[in-house]
Structures are given as C-alpha cells and as structure tokens.
C-alpha cells in the first residue's frame, strides 16, 4: 500500500490508566475512501484508541504517533481533530434534546452574521446536509421528538457540516431496529461512494461488519492481533474473526442447555397500558402471558411494539397511565403498583438502559450490586459491610466480572462487565421472576456467551425468565418459548418447534385490526 493511498496511520499507540495498560503498541492503517471496521471484545481498547485519535486523550497522555494525510498530528482537544476533518460519533449520542435539529447540527459551529445568529442561513444549511443523509424532517423539530435512528442521522449531518473526511462511528446501530440499521449502513456507503468520505465503524454486530466493511482491524486485550480483508473475492470469515476477537474457539454462539421446566410461577392477564401523556392511546392491549419455573420465554417485537412498556408497567408501573389487568405469582394475585411492591412480589426488571436507569456510574461495584437489596444487608438500619462484601464477591467470581476488586468504580468497567453488575444487582435480591430487557445490547460475542450462561444458570435454579431482545437469532438460540408482539398486542405464543425468523416476523408485523389476541393459557 503506497503512502498516497493512506489517510491515517496510528503507530505504536500505548495508553495507560494508572497500572492498567489499555492500549499496548496498537497499529492502525486506514486507506482513503474505505469503510474500515474495528472489532474486539468489550474492554479491548477500541473506543480508547478512537479517543486518542480525536483528542479526547490529548497528545502527551499517550505514546506513539498519529500520521494523518501524511503529517504527524498532535491533537490537544476534539476541536483540533475536527478542524482536520476527523469527526467521531460516540455510542452515547451527544445531542441536546430540547434544541432543534438545525441548532444541534451547528452547535459550536454557528452560522453568524456580524456576530448574530443567521437563522435563515442556519436552516438552509441544515436542510442541505439533512438531504445528504436522507433525513426528511423540519429543521426546527426538537431532537426529543425524533426516534433514535433519526438522531443518528442528525449526528452524521452534524459531521458533514464540519466538512468531514474521516468519520468514526462507535456502535452506530446498537440501539436501532433492523430497518433503521439498514438505512444507516446505506448512508455510510453513499458517503463513501459519492462523497469520498472514509469511515471507521466500531461494531459488535458481525453480520453488519461483513455486509459493509472493506477491511477489519481486530484488537484484543489492548493490542492489534490482526487485519482482515472483506471483498466479493475473499469474503470475511466470521468464524476466524470471532476466534481473533476472543482468542478461543466459539463453536456455538449459544451454550447448550437441557431445560427443566416445572410449575407456572408468573401470569399476567388482560394487561392494558395507556400512553403516559396521551391517555387515549393504548400502548399495551389486553396482554396475556405466563412463565413456568425453569423456563426462558422471549418477547419478540419491532421497536415501538410495546415490549419494554409492558415490562416497565408490570414492574412498579414505571411506565404508562390507566394501567389495568392482573398479575399472579405462584397462583396468587399480587400488587405491583410500586417498584417496592413488585420486588416484594419476587419480580426483578433488568433495564435496557444500564447507564441511564440501571447503574449509578459514580458508585463502585459493591454499592451498585446491593442497591435493590439494602434491607437484606442492614442490621438495625446500619449496613453490614462484611456481609455485603461476601455476597458481592461471590457473584464477582461466579459471573466472571473482570475487575481486580469490588471497590472498582462501575464507570471504569467495559459494557459487558457493567451488564454483569446489573444482573448481580437483581439476582442478589433473589427474585422468582427475572425480566431481562435487551440483556446483551452493545456487548461483544464473548461477553454475550457469558451472559447466556448466567441466564441458563438462573433458569436451572428454577427462576422464571423473560427475555426481551431485538435480535431474533438470540431469542431463537436461548428461549424455550417466544411471544410475538405487534402494536401492543401479543399475537402468538410460539413453541420451540416453530422457531424460525420468518415465522416470528409474521407475528411481529401483524396489523392490529387483523390480530387474534393470544390468551397465553
């Protein structure tokens, strides 16, 4: 490869955090006009490497060299890299929800005339870049009124307004449904083919990597372990990629399990939920379901189908208004109208938003793990820290949470290990029913396998498990039964013998007026 073809070289990048070496002599080469994927397990150093590139970790805080467009760069802050056409879109979108699309696009890069905002120019320029990414919205629309897929397009439009040459996207499709993900990938291809924008994608969705990347760099334990090409002549070998990522063979993406299903533990009857603001709008419509001890039951539905709303409304009425219906645990009707009552009834809900609602990122592992069970570790209203440490340390080892000790701050952990802490938080409360909402979102294939093993272990202990997931292969791989959900209605109760993506998708896309509601009996 000639130097004229290279847009970016990162040579021998080493970055430490105290005694921990996050990056160890990492090398990365990006060719002009390519889509380059960076793959690796959570905690491998992918995002750290991009933070070095962008100036989040300034020159002097790491060793090694960044060669961009043939020149060594020493970025001290994000603005320095953006001025050179390098724009990084983080997994957690950096948009201001109560400002408009146009205001967000030009935030920090305002269109001014004589020091005063030129709103006409701002809107016109916003429409121009919005058209480039296929975002058909009024530029005055507030971000809070957009779905996650369209918010991603706003971030890309924002990057285009900065005359981007190298666009870095960290887990761009992690929170998107299949349609939004496909649209976003098409936009990235369009930017490459029509505008010459080079892109770097960090992703755990390996099928998407195979579909879009020209080349792949694999990072494991903070070091570069390989570079792979992906073309029509030499398509990417996903088995080899997984082996490079995890450093071991994963012959099966889902651990084998022989279910031991016994009596019914959990039942929901005629559960109806209305929108929290628009009280006339029905979000969950007379849902009926049941789960038995030792059983893993999936909830499959498209984004907006009401899966999460169903779970949150059952768990302490944390979503919705005008909630009606009945919940039974071991044949006895229970009150779940508050989180405290739901926990007392033996129900636990592991949220899909671990950073926003699941964990306190300012606290350590021990404090997070016992948040839902404080009374269990209190003696005369004073925490018994010795008892607490023993319990949390047990699960640190059992769930293989990769950290030297339980006093480590949760924000320092990788996504997969954060997810294990969140699971620990609820397992310690010893629930009978565990509702897991997107339990493997944004974590790598190796960590996913460990989460599946934990789920299997809990089922083998006689828990009733409900798994909500946007990934149909995941539900097919781990569940004993699957309910399909469409427009707030449970449309089918699917036994394992009928598990195919096509069959499930039929139930997930039924129109409401044609739906025959499933009794779940």
What is the per-residue pLDDT for 301?
87
Sign of CA dihedral 63, 66, 72, 75: negative
Nearest to 168 by CA among 42, 4, 56, 38: 38
**What percentage of residues in the chain have a pLDDT greater than 70?**
96
d(CA 279, CA 213): 45
Candidate ranges 102-116, 288-302, 349-363, 397-411; pick with highest mean pLDDT: 288-302
d(CA 204, CA 19): 27
pLDDT 10s digits, 308-344: 899 999 999 988 899 999 999 999 999 999 999 999 9
pLDDT 10s digits, 165-220: 999 998 888 767 677 788 888 989 988 998 899 999 998 788 889 999 999 999 98
**467 neighbors 479 (Cβ within 8 angstroms):** yes
d(CA 220, CA 226): 9
d(CA 28, CA 222): 12
3-state helix, strand, coil in the chain (%, to 5): 35, 30, 35
Triad 207, 212, 218: Cα angle to 5°:
70
CATH no. for 6-246: 3.40.50.300
SS (H, E, C) 308-343: HHHHHHHCCCCCCEEEEEEEEECCEEECCCCHHHHH
CATH 3.40.50.300 range(s) for the chain read 6-246, 259-346+431-521
394: Cβ contacts below 8 Å, ≥ 6 apart: none
pLDDT 10s digits, 441-451: 777 777 788 88
Q: What is the CA radius of gyration of the chain?
A: 24
Name the pTM for this structure: 0.66
259-346+431-521 is a CATH 3.40.50.300 domain: yes
- pLDDT grade, residue 515 (50/70/90)? very low
């Amino acid at each position: 490869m000639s130097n004229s073809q290279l847009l970016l070289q990162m040579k021998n990048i080493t970055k430490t955090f105290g005694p921990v070496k996050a990056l160890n002599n990492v090398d990365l080469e990006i060719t002009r006009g390519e889509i380059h994927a960076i793959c690796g397990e959570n905690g491998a150093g992918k995002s750290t490497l991009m933070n070095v590139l962008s100036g989040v970790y300034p020159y002097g805080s790491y060793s090694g060299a960044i060669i961009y467009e043939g020149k060594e760069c020493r970025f001290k802050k994000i603005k320095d890299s953006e001025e050179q056409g390098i724009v990084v879109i983080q997994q957690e979108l950096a948009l201001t929800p109560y400002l408009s699309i146009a205001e967000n696009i030009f935030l920090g890069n305002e269109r001014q005339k004589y020091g005063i905002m030129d709103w006409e120019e701002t809107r016109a320029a916003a429409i121009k870049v919005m058209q480039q990414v296929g975002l058909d919205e009024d530029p005055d629309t507030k971000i809070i009124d957009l779905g996650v897929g369209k918010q991603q397009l706003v971030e890309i439009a924002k990057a285009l307004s900065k005359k981007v040459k190298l666009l870095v996207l960290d887990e761009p499709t992690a929170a998107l449904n299949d349609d939004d993900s496909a649209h976003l990938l098409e936009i990235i291809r369009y930017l490459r083919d029509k505008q010459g924008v080079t892109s770097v994608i960090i992703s755990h969705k390996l099928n998407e990597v195979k579909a879009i990347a020209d080349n792949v760099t694999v990072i494991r334990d903070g070091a570069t372990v390989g570079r792979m090409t992906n073309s029509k002549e030499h398509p990417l070998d996903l088995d080899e990629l997984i082996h490079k990522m995890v450093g071991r063979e994963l012959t099966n993406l889902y651990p084998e399990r022989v279910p031991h299903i016994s009596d019914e533990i959990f039942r929901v009857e005629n559960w109806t939920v209305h929108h929290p603001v628009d009280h006339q709008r029905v979000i969950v419509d007379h849902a009926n379901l049941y789960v038995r001890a030792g059983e893993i039951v999936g909830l499959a539905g498209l984004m907006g189908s009401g899966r999460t709303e169903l779970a949150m409304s059952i768990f302490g009425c944390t979503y919705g208004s005008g909630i009606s219906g009945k919940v039974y645990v071991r044949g006895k009707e229970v009150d779940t109208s508050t989180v405290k009552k739901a926990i007392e009834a033996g129900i636990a809900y592991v949220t899909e938003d671990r950073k926003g609602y699941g964990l306190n990122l300012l606290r350590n592992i021990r404090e997070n793990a016992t948040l839902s069970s404080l009374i269990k570790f209190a003696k005369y209203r004073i925490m018994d820290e010795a008892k607490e440490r023993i319990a949390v340390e047990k699960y640190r080892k059992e769930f293989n949470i990769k950290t030297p000790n339980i006093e480590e701050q949760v924000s320092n952990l990788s996504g997969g290990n954060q997810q294990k802490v969140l699971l620990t938080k609820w397992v310690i409360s010893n629930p009978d029913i565990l509702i897991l909402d997107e339990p493997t979102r944004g974590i790598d294939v190796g960590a996913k396998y460990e989460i599946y093993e934990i789920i299997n272990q809990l089922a083998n202990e006689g828990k009733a498990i409900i798994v909500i997931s946007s990934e149909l292969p995941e539900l097919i791989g781990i569940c004993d039964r699957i309910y399909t959900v469409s427009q707030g209605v449970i449309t089918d109760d699917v036994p394992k013998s009928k598990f195919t993506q096509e069959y499930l998708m039929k139930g997930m896309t039924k129109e409401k007026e044609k739906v025959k509601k499933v009794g779940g009996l």
